[in-house]
Structure formats: C-alpha cells, structure tokens
Amino acid sequence: MSRIPLQDARQALASARKPATDVPAYLRWVNRPLGGRVAVLAAHWGWAPNGVTALSALFGAAGIVVLAASTAWWSGPAAALLLLIGYILDSADGQLARIQKRGGPAGEWLDHVVDGARAPLVHIAVAVHLLRADRPLALVLLAALFSVLVSAWFLSQLLAEKLLPASAASSPERSSSILNALIRQPQDSSTTYLLLCAIGAPMIFVLLYSALFAWHVVICAASLRRKYRQLTEV
C-alpha cells in the first residue's frame, strides 16, 4: 500500500468522520480521536486496515491472557491497559479504511469477528481470574452470565440489522448532547476495561461489576424488545 502524506491523511480523515450522535462518552471524546491519530500515522506508514485489525486483536488477546493467567494486583490494570490499546486500534482500522478509501465487506466482517470474540472472552477471563483467586462462586457465575449476555446482545444487533429493511434498520438521528453520551457510557466496552483496574479490591469490584451487569440487563432487554417489535412490523 502506498504511503499517504500526513497532511493529506488528516484532511481525508476530517472529511470522512462519523457523526457524533448516539455515541458513548469515552468512544466519542477519547477513543475515536486517538484512533484517528493512529489511523493517520498508519496511512503515512502504508499499513493496511486489516493489519491494524489484527494488531487490535493481538493486544486484546494479550489483555485477556494476562487477566486469566495471573491473580497478582497488577494483572487487572495491565489487562485494562492492553484492552484499551486494542480498543483504540479497533477504532483506527475503520478510520484508516476511510482515509485510504478501501473499506469493504471483508474488512468489516473481520472487524466484527474480532469484536464478537473479544467481548465475551473478557468476561470469561474475569470468571477464570475470580475462580483462581478463590472469590465467591456467585461472582464467578455472574461473570460467566455476563459473557453470555454481551454475546447474545451483539448477535441480536447484527441479525436485526440484516433482517430489517434498510429504512427500518437505519436509526433516526438522535441527540449528540453531553448528557446522552454520559448515559450511554456504561454500555461501552471501555467501562468494563477500566473496571478491571479494581479487580484486586474485592468489595469495590463486586459492587461496580454487579451494577454494570444489572445496567446491561436492563439496556439489553429494552433493545431486544425494540428490535422484536420492529421485526414483527416488517
């Protein structure tokens, strides 16, 4: 892939940015901007989007392995850092594809495969970590259920987008306000990653992780109900 001058890459990215509507706070103000900077550099270095996706998967896998393999105090923060780097790269690959004007179904499919595997594996790694640290079995089970929940939610969203007509699948424009971004933040994967920093403090982690699970149950149930009603009206 030919290299793109830095200034040209920045201009191409600025003209192809996604709208900021309906986006969680961390993704909007931290992850996408950092991913954009990585994408500009990657375009300048001549990297391919699929290579950035693979690098994202590698960092995510490293974080998952660290969390599952060690119960030391540093394993949670280390896993969080690796997963957050992978998350930045996950945002960078799509932006790189838009800069290079080479996005396509294959790249989008690969990106979804990585996302679909990483989301439940993080919670499975949490369950393994808690089991090895002799934490209560109920908390281990909660982490296992969390992995099923995020996997089912991810699959339901993809299937709904495929089964719904294009006019119904496209979401109406929603608020891009600060309040909306903050309300949506708990469902962003960055919240789970940052929460791993507290896994060495049992009482704090149990409280926050349980609250995050409850939030996901409520939001997922509302999302499934909405998608089901849309599908029955087709």
* The pLDDT of residue 21: 74
pLDDT score of 188 more than 90: yes
* The pLDDT of residue 85: 98
pLDDT 10s digits, 197-223: 999 999 999 999 999 999 999 999 999
pLDDT score of 144 more than 90: yes
Average pLDDT over residues 150-155: 95
Domain-by-domain residue ranges, the chain?
6-158+181-232
Q: With bands split at pLDDT 50, 70 and 90, how would you rate the model's confidence at 174? A: low
Q: With bands split at pLDDT 50, 70 and 90, how would you rate the model's confidence at 43? A: very high
Average pLDDT of the residues of the chain: 93
Q: Please check whether the domain covering 6-158+181-232 is classified as CATH 1.10.8.640.
A: no
Helix (H) or strand (E) holding 121: helix 105-132
* The pLDDT of residue 127: 98
Q: What is the CA radius of gyration of the chain?
A: 19
Q: With bands split at pLDDT 50, 70 and 90, how would you rate the model's confidence at 2? A: confident
Distance CA 147, CA 9 (A): 38
Integer angstrom CA distances of residue 136 from 73, 75, 130, 133, 196: 18, 19, 8, 9, 17
> What are the residues whose beta carbons fall under 8 Å from the beta carbon of 152, sequence distance 6 or more?
220
Q: Which residue has the tokens 């089912």?
A: 152
pLDDT score of 81 more than 90: yes
